[in-house]
A and B are shown apart, each in its own frame.
Chain A
Amino acid sequence: MATIRIPTPMRRYTNGERLVTVASATLAAAVDELDRRFPGLRERLLDGDGHLHHFVNVFVDEEDVRLLQGLATPLGDRTEVAIIPAMAGGGRPVLS
């Protein structure tokens, strides 16, 4: 079972749970599994084309999945998955 660490702003969807274990063998399957148990989580993580949102970072055993196999990254028995919102700030002009 892989463990998924849920960040504070997502815990309203997981009934306050911060650690969720999943039986899935890949990150993509884990997202599906999460969404079945906590409806709405998928769209927090994926855009309309099924890709990870550019402002959400996912780490599998401390490695950015964009440096691994993205959503196809395999999850092992003791894998830890961390979901961390990107620390971006302030693009579009507010005043126009």
Chain B
Amino acid sequence: MTVESLRCRECKAEVVAGPYYVCEKCLGPLEAVYNVDALRRLPLRERIEAGPRSMWRYVDLLPVAYDPVVDLFPGFTPLVPAPRLGRALGINDLYVKNDSTNPTWSFKDRAVEIGTAAARTFGFKVLACASTGNLAHSVAAHAARVGMRACVFVPAGIERGKILASAVYGPTVVEVDGNYDEVNRLCAQIGDEHRWAFLNVNMRPYYSEGGKTLAFEVAEQLGWRAPANVIVPIASGNLLVKIHRGFQELAALGLIPDASARVHGAQAEGCAPVATAFHEGTDTVRPVRPQTIAHSLAIGAPADGRYAIAAVRATGGAVEDADDAEIVEGVKLLAETEGIFTETAGGVTVAVLRKLAAAGALDPQGSTVVCITGMGLKTVEALTDVIPAAVRIRPTLRAFEEAVLARA
């Protein structure tokens, strides 16, 4: 449903829905307001199950109308049983939510498609974003699809493949000498002075609703119930917050019996401000300067960090972190046990899953879902030194038998 107003999370003031993300009264963040009574009158489950096999099957619970022009068919990604990974880690009933199968191979397509639809209704001509790579891919692809100009800002020094996978769609790619937090600050300042649609800034009240659909899908794919545990990587913290909220919304609308999932967060040790605050028992997230191979999680000042901690604490979850070696090991473990090749962020999530299982932090009564949010070819640099070289042979049967058969 198209939302008609936005509400400040801090002071509750409402404004007519528009391209704003900040409350004029108190500078708090604005979020979409739904007509709950109208939603409760709809046969939601029937409408969802009769919908397309994409994120748009949940359009009743999204802040924009369906816009076929933007549609690259994101979402409704596989929920894959992961028995071999589960055995390796001692976890029963484990699933991988494989969001690396999205149109630009990361979960960002969910948010960008909603944000792009919103940008079109507000009449913007340019789509833009601050990104560590994945968001830039999605924004560039969607701009190409709808015929808008795109300008994506990334920190200098991100993986070569991540630059190429944006540039191919024809945007202006701007490498900024600074880290993600500095790129993000610059984009907020540009968006303040120029009428561009920054997906993760002024389109945020719409864009950020995309994360909910990941929870909607998990619940529907489990037979309309929440899992006992869900493990989510934390960059800004927004995805975790939205997944928690997605389960709560389904429960509030009577689509699942309850929203009892323990929500767990995963960070890289080299950028773990949320894990640190969680372990210190505070909700004040102190910024850090990121130093990790998991570039897509390298946000040193996570805007939703305190809200993520609140969601984790409210559900009995935990936040853990993983160092670079554990991250690479996580990537390899998922690939070798389940045939799914994830980027370094997924390595973080798998490594943290292992720690949570070992620490007894997972609720053993029910299913566990690990969210894999991006695909491995985006970050091959992280693996080049640890993956064994191919076996090279002459084209003879003897060479094969000597060099290969002995290994297989």
Contact = CB atoms under 8 A, between A and B. Distances in A.
Contacts of B124: none
Most A CB within 10 A of own CB, among B20, B22, B181, B304: B22
A91 B248 contact: no
Most B CB within 10 A of own CB, among A12, A90, A94: A90
A87 B184 contact: yes
Given A55-B27, A57-B301, A89 B286 contact: no
Given A64-B287, A87-B21, A87-B200, A10 B27 contact: yes
A87 B249 contact: no
Contact of B29 (A7, A84, A86): A86
B27 A91 contact: no
A27 B162 CA distance: 39
Given A55-B10, A55-B28, A93-B249, A87 B236 contact: yes
A64 B33 CA distance: 31
Contact of B185 (A9, A66, A82, A88): A82
Interface in A43-76: 44-45, 53-57, 59, 62, 64, 66-67
A83 B31 CA distance: 21
Contacts of A44: 26-27
A67 B287 contact: yes
Interface in B26-43: 26-34, 36, 39
Interface residues of A, number: 32
Interface residues of B, number: 53
A86 B303 contact: yes
Given A53-B27, A94-B33, A87 B303 contact: yes
A7 B182 CA distance: 17
A86 B27 CA distance: 9
A92 B7 CA distance: 11
B242 A90 contact: yes
Interface stretch (B80-88, B204-212, B349-357): B204-212
Contact of A9 (B24, B36, B306): B24
A54 B304 contact: no
Contacts of A64: 181, 287, 301
A64 B287 CA distance: 8
Contact of B241 (A8, A67, A91): A91
A58 B297 CA distance: 22
B76 to A, nearest CB: 21
A44 B201 CA distance: 20
A90 B33 CA distance: 10
B23 interface: yes
B307 interface: yes
A88 B248 contact: no
A12 B200 CA distance: 24
B188 interface: yes
A91 B21 CA distance: 14
Nearest to A83: B27
A95 B181 CA distance: 32
A96 interface: yes
Nearest to B208: A89
B121 interface: no
Interface in B8-58: 9-10, 20-24, 26-34, 36, 39
Contacts of B241: 90-91
A94 B287 contact: no
Interface string B242-284: 1001001100110000000000000000000000000000001
B32 A91 contact: no
A64 B286 CA distance: 11
Nearest to B246: A93
A90 B238 contact: yes
B22 A7 contact: yes
B27 A56 contact: yes
A86 B302 CA distance: 9
Interface string B164-188: 0000000000000000011011001
Contacts of B201: 87
Nearest to A91: B307
A29 B149 CA distance: 43
A42 interface: no
Contacts of A87: 21, 29, 184, 188, 200-201, 204, 236, 303
11 contacts: A9-B20, A44-B27, A55-B303, A87-B303, A88-B307, A89-B304, A90-B29, A90-B209, A91-B245, A94-B33, A95-B253
Task: Report, nearest first, the 6 A-B pairs whose CB atoms are least far apart.
Answer: A91-B307, A89-B208, A88-B303, A95-B252, A93-B248, A85-B22
